[in-house]
Chain A
Amino acid sequence: MQFGYLLSGSAPTIKKYKSAAGHAAGIIVIAPVAGATGVSTSTTILWANSLGLTLDANVSQGSPVSYSTTQGAVEYLQSVIINPDAVLRALMVGSAANAALELRTVGTAASNGLTAVGTAGETDPSSPDMDEGTVWYSSGANGGASRKITSTTTTLTVTVSMPFAANRVGDRFMTIPYSPGNTAGVTLSTDLLNVRAELAATGATAAVVDYELNGNTNSFLHLLPMDSIFAGQIT
């Protein structure tokens, strides 16, 4: 994930924390768990008590390191941006291993523009459920247009309320379970860097501030992780 901007528009606050695990750059770290000697790593579905986003990695000669067991050695440290209103920009991917989002193909044309029906063999948008998410086209008359999904059915169909222009067989489209201005659960990829948008919106709690809908390899979510320990609430 990348640090995008601050909701408040003020200056970022960067802290260097003691670190005892080989955290990568661009992941959420959480308050030290019991027994840890430094900030702890979040998981793919949990970032409760988050501290913020790491801005550098723990490396030594190019390799990730945890901590030194040499007596008197200097502690490892890691820079973290800790603003609770920091908006993170996360690439949307289609698997735990960061595959591209599924690019669907219209199999049945809809002249009224109220549905987008995929082609047999594609993942059904009702499972994992994309309901209340977003559908957008990357080709055809609707290329670049997006709508909020109002329902999904098991017939490869997503339904919208505000109609698109009539689509044609062969037009390409994508679906994600997120829509901006809402809270959602996010599941991260195994490397904790990206958001898995092929799954239903469950997992680590976040607010979706905005998104960038481009192609299936370069679309991004703008997320505000909830439950920061600096947000003034104790959970």
Chain B
Amino acid sequence: MSQTILVKKAYTRAEIAQAQEADGKTKGRTAGSWVHDLCALKKVVTLCDFCKPKFNPGRLGYIKEKEYPVVQATCDGCTTFDPKCTAYFFEETYHTVRSTASMRRAESTAYRKRLAHTR
């Protein structure tokens, strides 16, 4: 009779977190259908260089992340982890979760102008 040896492993928190990563599109599902579902839920879409040309962000109310033209992520089209993906944000939530240098500059300039009038 064969015996099974169980080797206990102490997982780190980072490994546990990695296991929490979502699986992405299910087997048999087309990439376009999956990405459109993500867009309907206003999720961030990350696409690799090969899948990027097939996505039209403007038509779906999305904008490209320009301050960070490259993000490390799993491509939502081909489910490959690619360190040179492009991120697309739903336009309405972009300002909730992102602060770009140009936004900070505009706010600071507006405040300085207001301040000048109080002196």
Within residues 87 to 102 of chain B, which ones have a CB less than 8 A from any CB in chain A?
A: 87, 89-90, 93, 95-99
**A55-B118 contact, Cβ under 8 Å, with A11-B71, A18-B22, A77-B43:** no
Identify A212's interface contact among B85, B90, B108, CB under 8 A: B108
**Cβ-based interface call for A49 (8 A):** yes
Question: Judging by beta carbons under 8 Å apart, are A17 and B22 in contact?
Answer: yes
Contact status B112-A15, CB under 8 Å: no
A14's contact among B87, B95, B114, by CB below 8 Å, is which?
B87
A39 sits at the interface (CB 8 A): yes
CA distance A128 to B73 in the complex (A): 43
Residue B14 lies at the interface, judged by CB distance under 8 Å to chain A: yes
Q: Does B54 contact A (CB under 8 A)?
A: no
On chain A, the residues within 8 Å of B73 by CB distance are 13-15
Whether B61 is near chain A, meaning CB under 8 Å from some CB there, is no
Given contacts A138-B115, A143-B118, A212-B108, contact A18 B21 (CB under 8 A): yes
Q: How far is the CA of A79 from the CA of B21 in the complex (A)?
A: 10
Encode contact with B along A12-23: 1 for CB under 8 Å, 0 otherwise: 111111110000
Count B interface residues, CB 8 Å: 42
Q: Count chain A CB atoms within 10 A of each CB in B14, B17, B95, B118 and give the residue with the most.
A: B17
Bound CA–CA A1/B16 (angstroms): 25
> 0/1 per residue, A77-100, Cβ < 8 Å to B?
111000000000100000000000
- Note all chain A residues with C-beta closer than 8 A to B2: none
Q: How far is the CA of A55 from the CA of B12 in the complex (A)?
A: 25
- Counting residue pairs across A and B whose Cβ atoms lie within 8 Å, the total is 124
Q: Is the CB of B22 within 8 A of A16?
A: yes
**Do B71 and A214 touch (CB < 8 A)?**
no
Question: How far, in whole Å, are A138 and B111 apart by their CA atoms in the complex?
Answer: 10
Main secondary structure of the interface of A (DSSP, over half): loop
Chain B residues with CB under 8 A of A39: 20
| A12-B72, A17-B20, A18-B20 known; A141 vs B119 contact (CB < 8 Å) | yes
Let me know if A180 is at the binding interface, CB within 8 A.
no
Question: What's the interface size class on A, roughly?
Answer: 35 or more
Contacting pair A230 B14 (CB below 8 A): yes
Cβ-based interface call for B13 (8 A): yes
A74-B20 in contact given A11-B71, A57-B93, A59-B41 (Cβ < 8 Å):
no
State whether B99 touches A14 (Cβ < 8 A).
Answer: no
Given contacts A77-B22, A212-B107, A215-B111, contact A60 B71 (CB under 8 A): no
Q: In the complex, which residues of chain A have a beta carbon less than 8 angstroms from the beta carbon of B71?
A: 11-14
Note all chain A residues with C-beta closer than 8 A to B118.
Answer: 138-140, 143
Whether A31 pairs with B98 at a CB distance below 8 angstroms is no
Judge whether A66 is part of the interface by a CB distance below 8 angstroms. no
24 A–B contacts, CB within 8 A, in A order: A4-B104, A11-B71, A13-B71, A14-B44, A15-B21, A16-B43, A17-B21, A18-B20, A19-B22, A25-B93, A39-B20, A49-B13, A53-B97, A56-B42, A56-B43, A75-B22, A79-B43, A89-B99, A139-B115, A139-B118, A144-B115, A214-B107, A220-B99, A229-B13
Q: Which A-B residue pairs are the 9 nearest by beta carbons?
A: A77-B22, A2-B99, A79-B44, A214-B111, A139-B118, A13-B72, A229-B13, A89-B99, A14-B73
